[in-house]
A and B are shown apart, each in its own frame.
Chain A
Amino acid sequence: AQSVTQLDSHVSVSEGTPVLLRCNYSSSYSPSLFWYVQHPNKGLQLLLKYTSAATLVKGINGFEAEFKKSETSFHLTKPSAHMSDAAEYFCVVNLSGNTGKLIFGQGTTLQVKP
């Protein structure tokens, strides 16, 4: 069965320092993996997606993620945090087959301190 585990429920960084949000997945297939961000009172926004092309995926707002099959990981990184990055981040796996439904991790709250 496919599943996603976000290893940290809460991450706090100072503005200008690197961000690392960790995600491990479990999948019987070659998965499609995504990171979505959710700002308070706003909808989910796609940050980036991995679909079996390049293992290093670049997304919006300076975020990137690396797919590591040997470690079953898809960690999200950003070199320098901005205050506007404070939000909830979800690692997501797309079930293969015809349904295409998404399985979400529990989420990681990113706090950015001035």
Chain B
Amino acid sequence: DTGVSQDPRHKITKRGQNVTFRCDPISEHNRLYWYRQTLGQGPEFLTYFQNEAQLEKSRLLSDRFSAERPKGSFSTLEIQRTEQGDSAMYLCASVSGPPETQYFGPGTRLLVL
């Protein structure tokens, strides 16, 4: 399968712990996006990369969140000192085009207890 992959698929953690998620985009896609989806809502943009450069961050991305894409391939999203409000599905997408189409991974579902 050459689609977008994310790891882990599920994560349960205690409040205050740090967590890290990984996204592997489709290999020839140079743009990568992170979104967050809370229950009953549509996904919301968090940040995106053009190759290894992080070009935009949403106001949703507090100082506890950091994302990297060190070699312009896979990306990681780290949440420090997790809070219960961080519980959500974290989605990664990579982009082909023009015309642009974002292909989404299966997501990482985070539950903070």
Chain A residues packing against B (C-beta within 8 Å):
32, 34, 36, 42-46, 49, 51, 90, 92, 94, 98-107
- 14 example contacts (A-B, Cβ-Cβ < 8 A) are as follows A32-B100, A34-B101, A43-B4, A43-B105, A43-B107, A44-B104, A49-B99, A90-B43, A98-B55, A99-B56, A100-B31, A100-B48, A100-B102, A102-B35
Q: Is B55's CB under 8 angstroms from A94's CB?
A: no
Q: Mark B99-113, 1 if CB is under 8 A from A, else 0.
A: 111111111000000
Query: Does B79 reach chain A (CB closer than 8 Å)?
Result: no
Query: Does B95 reach chain A (CB closer than 8 Å)?
Result: yes
Q: Is A106's CB under 8 angstroms from B56's CB?
A: no
In the assembled complex, which residues on chain A have CB atoms less than 8 Å from the CB atom of B40? 107
Chain A contact residues: over half helix, strand or loop, or mixed? strand
Query: Does B45 reach chain A (CB closer than 8 Å)?
Result: yes
Chain B residues packing against A (C-beta within 8 Å):
4, 31, 33, 35, 40-45, 48, 55-56, 91, 93, 95, 99-107
A-B contact count (CB 8 A): 56
Q: Is A46's CB under 8 angstroms from B44's CB?
A: no
Q: Is B56's CB under 8 angstroms from A44's CB?
A: no
Q: Is B100's CB under 8 angstroms from A94's CB?
A: yes
Q: Is A43's CB under 8 angstroms from B104's CB?
A: yes
In the assembled complex, which residues on chain A have CB atoms less than 8 Å from the CB atom of B91? 43-44
State in angstroms the CA–CA spacing of A11 and B58 once bound together. 32
Q: Is B45's CB under 8 angstroms from A107's CB?
A: no
State in angstroms the CA–CA spacing of A103 and B38 once bound together. 15
In the assembled complex, which residues on chain B have CB atoms less than 8 Å from the CB atom of A32? 99-100
Residue of B whose beta carbon sits closest to that of A49: B101
Separation in Å of the B110 CB from the closest CB of chain A? 15
- Among B41, B102, B106, the residue within 8 A (CB) of A42 is B106
In the assembled complex, which residues on chain A have CB atoms less than 8 Å from the CB atom of B33? 100-102
Residue of A whose beta carbon sits closest to that of B31: A100
Residue of B whose beta carbon sits closest to that of A102: B102
Closest 4 pairs between A and B when the two form their complex, measured CB to CB: A104-B42, A44-B104, A51-B99, A43-B106
In the assembled complex, which residues on chain B have CB atoms less than 8 Å from the CB atom of A43? 4, 91, 104-107
- Among A36, A90, A101, A106, the residue within 8 A (CB) of B45 is A101
